[in-house]
Amino acid sequence: MSPLSSDSTTLDRRLAALDDATGSLAAAADFGKQVKLTRVLGTLRRVLPLPGGCAAVRARAAGLESAGLFLGTDWASPEILIPALSTGSLHSPNPDTVVLETVSDLRLLAVAKGEYVHPTVSAEYAHNHLSQVLATNLSLLFTPPGEAERAQQGRMALASRELLRLLVQEIGYEKVLENLIDEIWRILRQRPIQVDSVKRMITQIAVARANPDIDLGAGALGADRLISSLYSTTDACREDPGIEVYLARLEAMDDAALQSEATGFARSMHDTGLVSPYHATLLRHLLDRGAHLLSEAMGLSSTGRDCLLCYHELVRTLIERAVHPETAQCVYGLASMLERGILYQPPVAPAIWRQLRLELSADSRARLSQVFGPAVDAGTWLLSGVLSILGLPLGVGQGDNPTCQSARALSMWSYNDPDYLLQTVAWAARDDEVVMHFEGQAISSRELGAGVATTLAFDLDPVSLLVVPHLDRIYAEMGRRCIGREGDPHRWINPEFHGWWSGRGFRINVDVATGALTDLEEFLRHFYASYHPFYNGNQPLVHPQPAGIAVTDSAARFVGWHAITILRVSLDPQDQMRVYFYNPNNDSGQDWGDGVVVGTAGHGERPGEASLPFEQFTSRLYIFHFDPLEHGESASVTPDELERVTGYIHRSWGADRLGASEGTVT
């Protein structure tokens, strides 16, 4: 049985259960509905996340309302509902709240489409309400669940996305496209490796743009830039003629025309971070036309051009093997890799030659083909992923998986130790095994059971898809070997798991046994002394350092612990001291409540970096590493500075963790 037919059978079975439960609820007296309601809500929780589940519930919305689903709740009066509040409901950790909001919106969709005549809301009102719901929840359309959603909502995070996809399909983009375009640009400025969801959204925008009845208003220019980056970047592909026609046009061009094409594609790629399939076609065509045109097509600076000239044969082979219309996005990775100059590190070029000749295991081939399809060979998918991760080390995302430690390791190795990353990829892809050492003892991923992630979703880049399962099992085993030790196991795990540059000094401000804040003032003073340039002798951070943060939601409520990488600390363009860090959760721009809003652009961030003012970042920090042989001037940190940080802590994740000595800072 195919997965599609299996899903359909499961949905049919659960819908039958839903209809039965709804009938029982309708037949119950008002005083007895609460007992029956529990079964209806439970069944809806199982139906809504399934493909087609929201559409099926939409057809049953009127019956669910008349049966009493919304009785005694705000949703019983849809005319008073506020679209802006839908965000809190769809992100709620309470699954019943998500269900009620989702079914209410599906009810209004039925009203808007004339399928349900509601006594208190008109079709026009319902349409306007849903348009605002779409605009308020744009991120759900094309981003996977983040760390907070995974921890709080589980599968209900998928139900919210199913709802939004159906609303877009039925309501359209007329009133939300401008905001949607702004959101896409916000994501693209972070330069993620995985951009398939963004490309799907741009494709839908292109369809809307072609509709003369849709007025994009001020968003038209931004929409055209996005659409042209994929489908009509240059004059020769302006009308999206198809690869074969475009290739024929290239063959008729002289060098001047080819240079114009190359410059146009390079400008678009560096502007958006997106690569058109036509760009990949051009790059392959230019292989026999000299390094100058290749350099122009990738938009290389003097650094990148020098690297291309020094390693011309390697780059040529990479383009032949990895760059195809289906893998076009890796062109940006290749260009960025050349700009980084990492090929000049002696082990890197030989390691990439090894990657070119690598024999993948049967399991690796099957997994890559299962996720990315048969359009190109599995080895080509992996090679394209290697180029992307080497070029964009801060673009690695953990997907919808609790594997932030493993994603952080891949990012850190690419950033700081690319030859080790390539070695790990070779082990995982060829040998189906990764071996690491913990305190002198070898740990083989082949001999271990499940890691932190019991199952691994497929929303990962090719490198992560193969390597993360091995790293996840090793990370979990290192944790098991720390059982019985006093304190947090990351003290010992991080230097062994991430690399020698992880500081052996370690501080934590939470008592592991009780969860209470402990030694907060000393923790804060030590972090300032280790990382703040005004207190550490103006010593820049030499190597990226692993750290742990207490993630909070937009109401500043504690969500969970999360792994990030501190990259650098410096003054931003407004002369405010900021911490710039890597967050593996796919979208670094988040509202952590109490005015703590993570920046991704506009504060001196480099692509892929997140940032916060130093005080705000410190307020969400709970563990960090440092070099125990280097000491800052911790005593000079003023009480006012520390008081502001502790205020943020006490108003957020530390509110319920105050120990006897943590009420004030002296």
Return the structure tokens found at 208: 């809307």
The Cα 663–Cα 645 span in angstroms is 12
Residue 3: the pLDDT is: 46
**pLDDT given for residue 664 in this prediction:** 41
- What pLDDT does residue 218 have? 63
Amino acid 158: pLDDT: 82
Q: Which residue has the tokens 């690695």?
A: 396
465: tokens are 């898809």
Judge whether 145 and 33 are in contact, CB under 8 Å. Answer: no
Which ranges in 392-461 belong to alpha helices (H)? Answer: 404-416, 418-426
- DSSP-based helix, strand, coil % in the chain, nearest 5: 60, 10, 35
Residue ranges of the chain with per-residue pLDDT less than 50: 1-4, 660-661, 663-666
219 touches 181 (CB < 8 A): yes
For residue 370, the model assigns a pLDDT of 93
**How far apart are alpha carbons 447 and 444 in whole angstroms?**
6
Characterise 540 by phi-psi region: left (phi > 0), alpha (psi -120 to 50), beta (else). beta
Counting Cα atoms < 13 Å in the Cβ hemisphere of 327 gives 31
What pLDDT does 534 receive?
92
Q: What is the pLDDT of residue 161?
A: 86
